[in-house]
Amino acid sequence: MRVAMIGTGYVGLVSGACFADFGHVVTCIDKDPSKIERLGRGEIPIFEPGLDDLVARNVREGRLFFTLDGAQAIKDADAVFIAVGTPTRRGDGHADLSYVYAAAEEIAGLIEGFTVVVTKSTVPVGTGDEVEAIIKKTNPKAQFAVVSNPEFLREGAAIEDFKRPDRVVVGTEDERAQAVMRELYRPLSLNETPIVFTGRRTSELIKYAANEMADLCEKVGADVQQVARGIGLDKRIGGKFLNAGPGYGGSCFPKDTIALVRTAQQYGAPVKLIETTVAVNDARKKAMAEKVAAVLGTDDLTGKTIGVLGVTFKPNTDDMRDAPSLDILPALLAKGARVQAFDPEGAKEAAHMMPGVSFVAGPYEAAQDADALVIITEWDQFRALDLERLKTLLKAPVVVDLRNVYKPAEMVRAGFTYASIGRGA
């Protein structure tokens, strides 16, 4: 099948490369000339393990293309995916859908024959209706169906998540569109991956959904039982998802929770649990600097050096969006501390966002002459540090482990003052 993927950000690039690896012919479209030039040279603008090899292989084998002008690709496509950004809108917290709607208008004037238009971006409930209305208004003769196909990709494991998902959610009641989507995802049948077909609004809500959904489902016209099934098939909801830490971040979860709160308020069905989650998360990230200061026994960190391991919001990515470090490190600087940090992939981006922080070449350099070492991101290489070497490098053997990487008894035996999350002093 022929696929046009509008947007070469995280979701668009990973999805496009994986669809190409399934054997489909995929053209990825973006309006950013520098991004398309880099991709044309084989340079991947994001860090995702294995993505560079996946892209290179499919480009080499003639299944994956990148372009600024997607007119022909959209005309030829069986399915056109909208995978553009939906950032939080300034002022009111709603998702900014201007890029989605602009893409819909562009698609409308180009599609020929029956075409499935798929919203892959995370969008509030009802967005598919608006996309459909835009296409009908722009091109009344267009033959198309708008489908919701939310993504459930974890940064750092996105290729595995796409190729071996717990489930694929497809929101459409159009039989022709269902046939196209089945064919697109047919390679997953070898893994017996369930494809959950729902109404479009139900599909949109599955991406956002958590508790307190029944009232909201009634208000917006979604099916709470189908929402529950779509959530229940997600293996991410379990022990690993509940690990303690300094707060959540990333490209999706922070803005999605805020957008869900705004949507629920708009429909008169407030989701108090999620509202509280957002507020607690914001407060938690800010409180982590207080925790470090408390371990050192002083709120004034003037003259103190704090070593930091990891600044990205999670390991195996270079993504700094809403990373807890963006609250923690500036708060430490504001208390007078000197901060020296190491991250395997995020340092370049983080340096622009936190100019007061010194970035160093490795974990032991971050510990050098520091009054405390703080673990913010649980990269694998931080899991088996040479504790004796750390003790010789640190001014005092103090470790504040915000990811519970180490066992308290082990650290105490090694001679450290050790603080972690939710495990006592």
Q: Examine the residue annotation and report whether 18 is marked as an active-site residue of this protein.
A: no
Beta strands in 143-191 (DSSP E): 144-148, 168-171
In sequence order, what DSSP letters do the residues of 193-250 get, joined into one string? --EEEE-HHHHHHHHH--SS-HHHHHHHT--HHHHHHHHHT-TTSSTGGG---S---S
In sequence order, what DSSP letters do the residues of 341-405 get, joined into one string? EE-TTTHHHHHHH-TTSEE-SSHHHHHTT-SEEEE-S--GGGTT--HHHHHHHSSS-EEEETT--
Instruction: At 154, list the tokens.
Output: 């974890």
Instruction: At 181, list the tokens.
Output: 């989507």
Residue 422 one-letter amino acid = G
Distance CA 81, CA 79 (A): 6
Q: How far is CA 139 from the centre of its chain?
A: 34
Instruction: At 4, list the tokens.
Output: 């046009």
- As a whole number of Å, the CA-based R_g of the chain is 23
Instruction: At 74, list the tokens.
Output: 């959209």
Cβ atoms of 315 and 49 within 8 Å: the answer is no
Residue 301 one-letter amino acid = L
Strand, coil or helix: what is 267?
Answer: coil
In sequence order, what DSSP letters do the residues of 58-122 get, joined into one string? HHHTT-EEEES--HHHHHH-SEEEE----PBPTTT--B--HHHHHHHHHHHTT--SSEEEEE-S-
Distance CA 265, CA 244 (A): 29
Catalytic residue, candidates 18, 28, 217, 252: 252
Phi, psi of 3 (to 5 degrees): -125, 135
Cβ atoms of 378 and 358 within 8 Å: the answer is no
Instruction: At 129, list the tokens.
Output: 């209706």
Q: How many CB atoms lie within 10 A of CB 272?
A: 11
Phi, psi of 188 (to 5 degrees): -75, -10
Report the catalytic residues: 252
